[in-house]
Amino acid sequence: MNLLPSTAPAWLDVVRRETQGITDRDLFVIPPFPAIFVAREVLGGSRIRWGAQDVHEDDAGAHTGDVSAPMLVDLGCTIAEIGHSERRRDHCEDDRRIAAKVRAALRWGLTPLVCVGERTPGPSKAAAAFIVGQLDATFGSLTGADLARVVVAYEPVWAIGAGARAAAPSHVTEVHLAIRRWLDGLGASATPVLYGGSVDQTNAPDLLATPAVDGVFVGRSALDPAAFVAIATLPLPASEG
């Protein structure tokens, strides 16, 4: 719940200008609902995609305060973030509802960016088992072709928020490899898996070099457009081209 429609243009202008030469990676921003139209105005014609922080599972109807997939498409969105831990906490969203939102996004050609993550720190194997359970509940009914249109963001809940620290690369590696094995088993080897959770300019290079990490999902650090640009323009690991 940051950036007003009146302050978003300055942030977006910086990001568009400073990343305009970047062509070897996908960049996206997910502003709050009232600022999506600003993203459309500023980012239209650029390589930066924009999306929304949530989407309702129904296409229309008596759901006061909610926003549907066709509304987002009409605003030029191509991504819908689904299942963030704060939505799960504040709005009591469970895996069943998140699965319905994923299907709604897919119906309208949006890329569901689905957040998964364990609530408390612990062994990597336990975290991986918990995440696989979330994947089963959320994606179990989807085909490999459907999953090829999805992005998974691993965001350990304990690594999100002021004062939190990013998960160690070794922990991230084990969880991401478990996610990758689960996806591969359904024929979705091309589905990107991002890491999110206290990503900043200091730890982003190591996280991007971590096995099975396809990119980073930046939250708090992205409030400063210069910090976001610094992360967005980092050299890619040699193995990724």
The amino acid present at 127, given as its one-letter code, is A
Whether residue 128 lies inside any domain: the answer is yes
Does the structure show a pLDDT above 60 at 240?
no
Structural domains counted in the chain: 1
**Site of tokens 């610094």:** 230
Question: How big is the chain, counted in residues?
Answer: 241
From the candidates 56, 81, 84, 174, give the one annotated as an active-site residue. 84
CB 191 within 8 A of CB 183: yes
How large is the average pLDDT for residues 181-200? 96
From the candidates 155, 171, 174, 176, give the one annotated as an active-site residue. 155
The 10 Å CB-count burial string (b at 16+, else e) for 137-150 is ebbeebeeebbbbb
The amino acid present at 133, given as its one-letter code, is G
pTM reported for the whole predicted model: 0.95
pLDDT tens by residue, 9-32: 999 999 999 999 999 999 999 999
* Cα angle, residue 155 at apex, residues 90 and 137 outer, rounded to 5°: 75
Indicate the SS3 state at residue 190. coil
| Rounded-to-integer distance, Cα 2 and Cα 10, Å | 13
Strands (E), 35-136: 48-52, 79-82, 111-116
Confidence of residue 162 (pLDDT cuts 50, 70, 90): confident
Indicate the SS3 state at residue 62. coil
pLDDT above 90 coverage of the chain, percent: 95
| Rounded-to-integer distance, Cα 175 and Cα 181, Å | 10
Whether residue 145 lies inside any domain: the answer is yes
How large is the average pLDDT for residues 72-78? 98
CATH of the domain at 101: 3.20.20.70
Whether residue 238 lies inside any domain: the answer is no
Whether residue 223 lies inside any domain: the answer is yes
Token pair recorded at residue 99: 């699965």
CB 220 within 8 A of CB 162: yes
Token pair recorded at residue 41: 């105005």
CB 182 within 8 A of CB 140: no
Q: What is the CA radius of gyration of the chain?
A: 17
Whether residue 185 lies inside any domain: the answer is yes
pLDDT for the residue numbered 241: 41
Q: What is the mean pLDDT of the chain?
A: 96
CA distances from 124 to 119, 151, 178, 186 (A): 13, 21, 10, 23
Whether residue 3 lies inside any domain: the answer is no
Domain that holds residue 207: 8-233
pLDDT tens by residue, 110-149: 999 999 999 999 999 999 999 999 999 999 889 999 999 9
pLDDT for the residue numbered 239: 58
Within 33-81, residue ranges assigned H as helices are: 36-43, 69-74
Whether residue 240 lies inside any domain: the answer is no
How large is the average pLDDT for residues 195-221? 96
Confidence of residue 236 (pLDDT cuts 50, 70, 90): confident
| Rounded-to-integer distance, Cα 40 and Cα 20, Å | 16
Tell me whether residue 155 is one of the annotated catalytic residues.
Answer: yes
Whether residue 218 lies inside any domain: the answer is yes
Indicate the SS3 state at residue 151. strand
Confidence of residue 238 (pLDDT cuts 50, 70, 90): confident
